[in-house]
C-alpha cells in the first residue's frame, strides 16, 4: 500500500523548522495516542504514521534522504518502514520527555535530556572531496562519576522533597481551576540534597573535554551537519544525553571554487598558445591532466573535463571540472620584443581580428545613430 507523504501526515510545509515539527507531532500524537483512543484501530494506525513521519523528519540526514528519494531513500536499509520499525507506542509522558527533555521516573524524580551541542569543523576542499576522519576535542557536561549523577555526597542519598512528595510539582487550586506548577522547594527535581558531592557541588555533572573521532563522508559541503547521537551534554537525573552536531566549514581553495558538484578554475595561457594552439597541464584534485588548446582560442573559453569534480555525498556520478582559459598579456618586454610586436601588428588585417572589427563597426554605428 502506498504511504502518505510525511509532511502531509504531520500537516507541515516542506521547509518546516525543527520547532514546527515538534509542535505538529505533539499536537497530533496527543490526539491519536492509543491511550486516549482505546480499542480504536483507526486512531492506532494514524498514530503509527505520525510517529514514523516525525522520526524521519526530525533527523537531518534521514530528512535529506527522504526529500531527495522519497520513501525509497529511508527504506533502503529496511529499518524505517511501518509502525513496527519504531517499537511500541510508549505512554503520553514519553512523548513529552523525548521532545522537550523532561519527564518523571522512579518515585516522581524528574529527569532532563542533556543539551545538544554544536562544533564548527574547518576542512580543506581536498578533505571534503575525498572524505577523511578527524579527531575533535569538545567541551561538555558529563555525569559526575563520584556521585553517579545524583549530586549527593558518596555514602548519602538525596531525600524526597516533603513539599511536593517527590513529584517535582505542586498543584494550586484557584477557584474552579487547578494549576500545576514546578515545586519551588526542590525546583522540580523531587529531591533535596542535604550533603552535596564535593566533586560536582550537587550538580550531578562536571565540565570536561572529550575527544571524538568524526568520519567525514566524501562530497560534504559548507553548512552540512553530521550528527553524533548521545555525544552532547549528559542528561540530568539519569536523563538521556543530547546530540552533537558537527557543522562543516570548507576553507577557500587557492585554485578551485566549488558550485554543487562541479569545480571551476582559471588557467592562464600565452598569446602564442592561444593563437597557434598547444597542450598544457591542468590541475585537478587528484593529479594533473593534459588540456589540449585548439588554435585561435579566445580568452574566457571554458573547457570541461568530465568526472573531475566532486562525487555527491549521497551517491551518483561525480561532477565536472571547468577550466576557463585566460590569455595573458606579456609584461616587461625588451625593446626588440616591442618592435617585433609593432611589425606583427602592421601585418595584421581585419580578418585576423573579427571580434575587434565587428565591435568597432558597432561603436561607429552607435555614434552615427546618436547624431541622426
Residues 355 and 301: their CA atoms lie apart, in Å, by 14
Which residue is associated with the grid cell 555526597? Answer: 153
Secondary structure (3-state) at 143: strand
What rounded mean pLDDT belongs to the chain? 80
**Grid coordinates given for 221:** 559541503
- Amino acid 367: pLDDT: 66
Q: What is the pTM of this model?
A: 0.54
274 C-beta neighbours (distance < 10 Å), count: 21
90 C-beta neighbours (distance < 10 Å), count: 16
Which CATH superfamily is 1-100 part of? Answer: DnaJ domain (1.10.287.110)
- Amino acid 282: pLDDT: 85
Which residue is associated with the grid cell 562544533? Answer: 119
Architecture of domain 106-158+193-251: Sandwich (2.60)
CATH 2.60.260.20 maps onto the chain at 106-158+193-251, 257-371
Question: Span 122-129, mean pLDDT?
Answer: 90
Residues 133 and 141: their CA atoms lie apart, in Å, by 24
What DSSP string runs through 40-92? -HHHHHHHHHHHHHHHHHTSHHHHHHHHHHTHHHHHTTSSSSTGGGG-----H
Tell me which range, 13-22, 120-129, 163-172, 205-214, is most confidently predicted by mean pLDDT.
Answer: 120-129
Domain 257-371's class? mainly beta
Higher per-residue confidence, 147 vs 178: 147
Confidence check: pLDDT of 47 > 90: no
Confidence check: pLDDT of 95 > 60: no
Closest CA to 101 of 110, 109, 92: 110
Confidence check: pLDDT of 154 > 80: yes
Closest CA to 268 of 286, 285, 293, 288: 293
Tell me which range, 82-91, 176-185, 205-214, is most confidently predicted by mean pLDDT.
Answer: 205-214
Task: Specify the pairing of strand 287-293 against strand 302-305.
Answer: unpaired
Residues 318 and 328: their CA atoms lie apart, in Å, by 31
- Amino acid 111: pLDDT: 65
Closest CA to 89 of 52, 39, 57, 42: 52
- Amino acid 355: pLDDT: 67
Q: What are the φ and ψ backbone dihedral angles of 370, each rounded to 5 degrees? A: -70, -35
pLDDT digits (tens, 9 = 90+) for 251-303: 999 999 999 889 999 999 988 888 899 988 888 888 888 889 999 888 899 99
Q: List 172's β-bridge partners, or say none.
A: 179
Number of residues that make up the chain? 372
Amino acid at each position: 500500500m502506498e504511504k502518505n507523504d510525511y509532511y502531509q501526515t504531520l500537516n507541515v510545509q516542506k521547509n518546516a523548522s525543527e520547532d514546527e515539527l515538534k509542535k505538529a507531532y505533539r499536537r497530533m500524537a496527543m490526539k491519536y495516542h492509543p491511550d486516549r483512543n482505546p480499542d480504536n484501530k483507526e486512531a492506532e494506525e494514524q498514530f503509527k504514521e505520525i510517529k514514523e513521519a516525525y522520526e524521519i523528519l526530525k533527523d537531518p540526514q534521514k530528512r535529506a534522504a527522504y526529500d531527495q528519494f522519497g520513501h525509497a531513500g529511508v527504506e533502503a536499509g529496511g529499518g524505517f518502514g511501518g509502525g513496527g520499525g519504531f517499537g511500541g507506542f510508549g505512554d503520553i509522558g514519553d512523548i513529552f520527555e523525548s521532545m522537550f527533555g523532561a519527564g518523571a521516573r522512579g518515585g516522581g524524580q524528574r529527569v532532563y535530556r542533556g543539551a545538544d551541542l554544536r562544533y564548527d569543523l574547518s576542512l580543506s576542499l581536498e578533505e571534503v572531496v575525498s572524505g577523511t576522519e578527524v579527531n575533535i576535542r569538545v567541551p561538555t557536561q558529563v555525569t559526575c562519576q563520584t556521585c553517579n549523577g545524583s549530586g549527593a555526597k558518596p555514602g548519602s542519598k538525596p531525600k524526597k522533597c516533603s513539599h511536593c512528595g517527590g513529584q517535582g510539582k505542586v498543584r494550586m487550586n484557584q477557584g474552579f481551576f487547578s494549576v500545576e506548577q514546578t515545586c519551588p522547594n526542590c525546583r522540580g527535581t523531587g529531591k533535596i540534597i542535604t550533603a552535596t558531592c564535593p566533586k560536582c557541588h550537587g550538580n550531578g555533572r562536571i565540565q570536561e573535554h572529550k575527544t571524538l573521532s568524526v568520519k567525514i563522508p566524501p562530497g560534504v559541503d559548507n553548512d552540512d551537519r553530521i550528527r553524533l547521537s548521545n555525544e552532547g551534554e549528559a542528561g540530568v537525573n539519569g536523563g538521556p544525553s543530547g546530540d552533537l552536531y558537527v557543522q562543516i566549514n570548507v576553507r577557500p581553495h587557492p585554485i578551485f571554487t566549488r558550485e554543487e558538484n562541479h569545480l571551476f578554475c582559471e588557467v592562464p595561457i600565452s598569446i602564442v598558445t592561444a593563437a597557434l594552439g598547444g597542450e598544457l597541464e591542468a590541475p585537478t584534485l587528484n593529479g594533473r591532466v593534459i588540456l589540449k588548446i585548439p588554435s585561435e582560442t579566445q580568452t574566457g573559453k571554458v573547457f570541461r573535463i568530465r568526472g573531475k569534480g566532486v562525487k555527491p555525498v549521497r551517491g551518483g556520478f561525480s561532477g565536472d571540472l571547468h577550466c576557463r582559459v585566460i590569455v595573458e598579456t606579456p609584461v616587461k618586454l625588451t625593446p626588440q620584443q616591442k618592435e617585433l610586436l609593432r611589425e606583427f601588428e602592421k601585418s595584421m588585417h581585419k580578418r585576423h581580428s573579427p571580434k575587434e572589427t565587428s565591435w568597432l563597426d558597432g561603436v561607429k554605428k552607435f555614434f552615427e545613430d546618436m547624431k541622426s
